[in-house]
């Protein structure tokens, strides 16, 4: 169907590079790079790209709705009324992010609408580009934050109260939304602001497609993951005078926990990391009396994740036992394993096969979380399309997918949306 729609070559990739001017540097270290991005959720840089997206979609005739948690829905009319088929992802990045994670998904949605307009093509039903607020959880530590409010999985007032962890003076989600003017008036609710389907084009962010020389990942779901905060309290003492057996050293305890987590997750064939850690007072000759860190635990099955969490709790208590270190566990985030909609998966497979050939496609599970988990939680038919990531690297300024890989992904997305809409 969409074979008849003429695509303007390179416009999508040019748009990606054009919009990267908003946030094209690191906040930490203020290091300009050719490819790196620091566009934290609800920051001034993010406001600029949001404003731009709203203007560009309005130029195409879209009706734009902003919900109470800042999600943007730009809706292109169809021949018939009804809930829109959405193309969604996120415009926020990690503090040390690249130009493609999330951004590709939103801007390819815009490119689809531009392609419709160029071709005077009207879909059967409305088609929307959606920008979900704070997918990354980097500034406000909650992954897929606003899509999970829309899906009814998180309470909006709990989310409004979350404080930023990347600002010198922390601010809440509500304050940040208000300060950039993106606390909209549409209720953040999948029941009153529904979607007919959700499709997300994303970079794989891992090494599998590149290693197996595949062009398109047909994503069948997302592994389960949780983030657990561990706060340790001990005693600050002189490093030169305190005998080794008389210390309450919270950093040493954290290091032991990190090793135990590594062993447990390997045993259960899952993934476990300590990637955020705050040590205090962080001085060379003072034993740290406070260490706070976050465990990121993942497994392809819910049962696997539960086993890892249970083993961690029991093994960590053994490390603490008999020491003067006090530990507090905080469950910060959890998302069950997600299984995408079979019909949507089949359409992606069919379109990908037509475009790149079945031997260049691979059915796979996503290692990273995505807003498509939330739309699935809201029972919206959903699936995702992956393209290769160079070296499997993401959340890093060198993150890269080539213009050719992006074009193939875009064509599969366009075909998928048109095929779904015409069914
Ligand atoms: C979500 O971005 C994740 O960490 O997988
Ligand atoms: Mn992403
Ligand atoms: Mn990311
Ligand atoms: Mn992500």
Looking at residue 2, what is its pLDDT? 65
250 & 179 share domain: no
Query: Which two three-digit tokens encode residue 324?
Result: 């003067």
83 & 109 share domain: yes
Burial of 36 (0-12, 13-18, 19+ CB in 10 A): buried
183 & 258 share domain: no
User: What residues are in contact with ligand 1 under a 6 Å CB criterion?
Assistant: 135-136, 143, 368-369
DSSP letter at 242 equals S
352 & 372 share domain: yes
Per-residue pLDDT reduced to its tens digit, 132-148: 999 999 999 999 999 99
Question: DSSP string of 325-386?
Answer: -EEEEEEEEEE--EE--HHHHHHHHHHHHHHH-GGGEEEEEESS--HHHHHHHTT--EEEEE
Q: Which ligand is nearest to the CA of 335?
A: 1
Q: How many CA atoms lie within 13 A of 9 on its CB side?
A: 3
Query: Considering its fold, how many domains does the chain have in total?
Result: 2
343 & 308 share domain: no
Which residues place a Cβ less than 5 A from the ion ligand 4? 368
Please tell me the residue having the least CA distance from ligand 1 atom 1.
369
Query: Which two three-digit tokens encode residue 313?
Result: 């709790």
How confident is residue 36, by pLDDT bands cut at 50, 70 and 90? confident
Residue at a domain's end among 335, 364, 379: 335
Find the angle CA(142)-CA(144)-CA(150) to the nearest 5 degrees: 110
The domain spanning residue 245 has which CATH number? Answer: 3.30.70.360
Ligand 1: atom nearest CA of 143 is 1
In whole angstroms, give the CA distance from residue 281 to residue 278.
9
* Residues 115 and 35: beta-carbon distance below 8 Å: no
159 & 176 share domain: yes
Per-residue pLDDT reduced to its tens digit, 148-197: 999 999 999 999 999 999 999 999 999 999 999 999 999 999 999 999 99
How confident is residue 1, by pLDDT bands cut at 50, 70 and 90? low
18 & 150 share domain: yes
265 & 184 share domain: no
Per-residue pLDDT reduced to its tens digit, 84-122: 999 999 999 999 899 999 999 999 999 999 999 999 999
Q: Which 3 state secondary structure label does DSSP give 49? A: helix
The domain spanning residue 183 has which CATH number? Answer: 3.40.630.10
277 & 367 share domain: no
Residue at a domain's end among 309, 335, 361: 335
Q: What's this model's pTM, rounded to 2 decimal places?
A: 0.94
- pLDDT higher than threshold 90 for residue 337: yes
Find the domain containing 88 and state its range: 2-223+337-422
For residue 134, the CA-to-ligand 2 centroid distance in Å is 10
Ligand 1: atom nearest CA of 368 is 5
- pLDDT higher than threshold 80 for residue 26: no
252 & 165 share domain: no
341 & 323 share domain: no
249 & 305 share domain: yes
The answer to whether ipTM exceeds 0.90 is yes
The Cα-based distances of 199 to 61, 165, 382 in angstroms read 21, 30, 6
Residue at a domain's end among 296, 318, 335: 335
């Amino acid at each position: 169907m969409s074979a008849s729609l003429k695509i303007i070559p390179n416009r999508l990739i040019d748009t990606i590079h054009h919009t990267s001017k908003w946030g094209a540097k690191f906040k930490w270290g203020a290091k300009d790079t050719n490819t790196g991005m620091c566009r934290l959720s609800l920051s001034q840089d993010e406001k600029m790209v949001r404003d731009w997206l709203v203007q560009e979609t309005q130029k195409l005739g879209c009706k734009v709705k902003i919900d109470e948690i800042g999600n943007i829905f730009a809706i292109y009319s169809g021949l018939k009324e009804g809930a829109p088929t959405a193309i969604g992802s996120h415009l926020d990045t990690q503090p040390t992010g690249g130009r493609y994670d999330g951004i590709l998904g939103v801007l390819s949605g815009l490119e689809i609408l531009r392609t419709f307009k160029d071709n005077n093509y009207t879909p059967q039903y409305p088609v929307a580009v959606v920008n979900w607020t704070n997918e990354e959880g980097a500034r406000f530590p909650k992954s897929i934050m606003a899509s999970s409010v829309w899906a009814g999985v998180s309470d909006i007032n709990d989310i409004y109260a979350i404080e930023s962890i990347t600002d010198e003076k922390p601010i809440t989600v509500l304050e940040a939304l208000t300060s950039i003017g993106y606390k909209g008036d549409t209720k953040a609710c999948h029941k009153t602001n529904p979607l007919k389907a959700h499709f997300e084009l994303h970079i794989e962010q891992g090494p599998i497609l590149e290693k197996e020389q595949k062009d398109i990942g047909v994503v069948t779901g997302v592994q389960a993951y949780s983030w657990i905060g561990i706060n340790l309290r001990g005693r600050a003492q002189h490093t030169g005078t305190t005998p080794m057996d008389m210390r309450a050293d919270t950093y040493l305890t954290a290091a032991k926990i990190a090793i135990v987590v590594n062993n447990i997750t390997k045993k259960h064939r899952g993934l476990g990391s300590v990637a955020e850690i705050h040590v205090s007072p962080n001085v060379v000759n003072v034993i740290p009396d406070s260490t706070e860190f976050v465990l990121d635990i993942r497994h392809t099955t819910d049962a696997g994740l539960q086993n890892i969490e249970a083993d961690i709790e029991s093994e960590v208590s053994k490390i603490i036992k008999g020491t003067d270190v006090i530990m507090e566990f905080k469950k910060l985030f959890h998302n069950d394993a997600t299984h995408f909609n079979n019909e949507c998966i089949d359409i992606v497979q069919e379109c990908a096969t037509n475009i790149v050939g079945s031997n260049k496609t691979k059915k796979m599970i996503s290692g990273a979380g995505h807003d498509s988990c939330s739309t699935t939680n809201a029972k919206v038919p959903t699936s995702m399309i992956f393209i290769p990531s160079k070296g499997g690297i993401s959340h890093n300024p060198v993150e890269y997918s080539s213009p050719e890989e992006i074009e193939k992904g875009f064509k599969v997305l366009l075909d998928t949306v048109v095929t779904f809409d015409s069914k």
